[in-house]
Amino acid sequence: MIDDSDIQIDGAIARESPYGLLREPTFAGVLSFMRRNYSKDLTGAELVISGIPLDLAVSYRSGARLGPQAIRLASAEVASLKPYPWGFDPFENLAVIDFGDCHLDVHNPMTIHDAIVAHARHILKSDAHMLTFGGDHYITYPLLKAHVEKIGEPLSLIHFDAHSDTWADDKSSSLNHGSMFYKAVNDGLIDPKRSVQIGIRTWNDDFMGIHVLDATWVHRHGSDAVIAEVERVVGNHPAYFTFDIDCLDPAFAPGTGTPVCGGLSTAQALAIIRGLTELNLIGMDIVEVAPAYDQSQITALAAAHIACDLICLFAKRKADGLVKI
């Protein structure tokens, strides 16, 4: 057995325990998210990170299939210290592993939906929660299906995005990153009355009854007001969290497929997420990072920081006895 204290590099494949921070050079080593153990063994895992490298459903620029890899790379810097402003090691009492990526047969696109559902079912069967990296935003649709199967009731959706993604699409087999939540509402996967979209700044004639806090509202009222509204709408209902990186203004996230000006700053988004400690999050994803259009990794770094804060939310709620794992 290897003593974790002797590991100086490649802890993701060398150490025995999934717990605790492990200081490694930020410029070297195996790329797992925040140096978590790479493992296909779900035994004892409480939060499982995985990637879904899909970009066949995009409507503009491709490249999000490289998003999981880019987020993992950026996370090496995020893992070097206790997260700010939390001030604790989220992995001290929360077992988090990096499961790797979902295998997709991209040459047979009609198999992709079922492959993602099966990937999520396998992880959720272990009773672990999921934090998933896209990939384009279509992946949230099959992920929601697997989560609703597990939970047994429609979920609240907490959705950060420039786009509502509720454009009509009645073709059940279509891969489209702009119609997933139209399908999710019609399929009874999410409860629109208990769901909220944050940062929207593209027009849609039908938001399907989902509560919208558009980018202008966020800029005018501030992060604390957003937190209060999300808590009011969602309450303690089981909620799925999805963050499309194009919710951020292109100044803060140029590396994405469909950038829209006038969005949130990274600071605004992080302040909101850090305030969501009262919510009953049961699953999460971060999508649409397309590193080919990035500058100095700022988009991937934003995604890595968002993911780290989501992990800290889980760790805090577990410490407070609010997460049932």
Which tokens go with 187? 């399929």
Distance CA 245, CA 223 (A): 17
Tell me the pLDDT tens digit for each residue of 114-124: 999 999 999 99
Tell me the pLDDT tens digit for each residue of 13-47: 777 788 887 777 777 778 899 999 999 999 999 99
DSSP H or E run through 99: strand 96-101
Distance CA 309, CA 311 (A): 5
Spell out, as residue ranges, where the chain has pLDDT lower than 70. 1-8, 322-325
Query: For the whole prediction, is pTM greater than 0.85?
Result: yes
pLDDT given for residue 21 in this prediction: 77
DSSP H or E run through 12: helix 11-14
- Domain range summary for the chain, segments of one domain joined by +: 45-319
pLDDT given for residue 3 in this prediction: 55
Distance CA 276, CA 288 (A): 22
pLDDT given for residue 241 in this prediction: 98
pLDDT given for residue 24 in this prediction: 73
The CATH fold of domain 45-319: Arginase; Chain A (3.40.800)
Classify residue 69 by burial, with Cβ atoms within 10 Å: 0-12, 13-18, 19+.
Answer: middle
DSSP H or E run through 230: helix 223-234
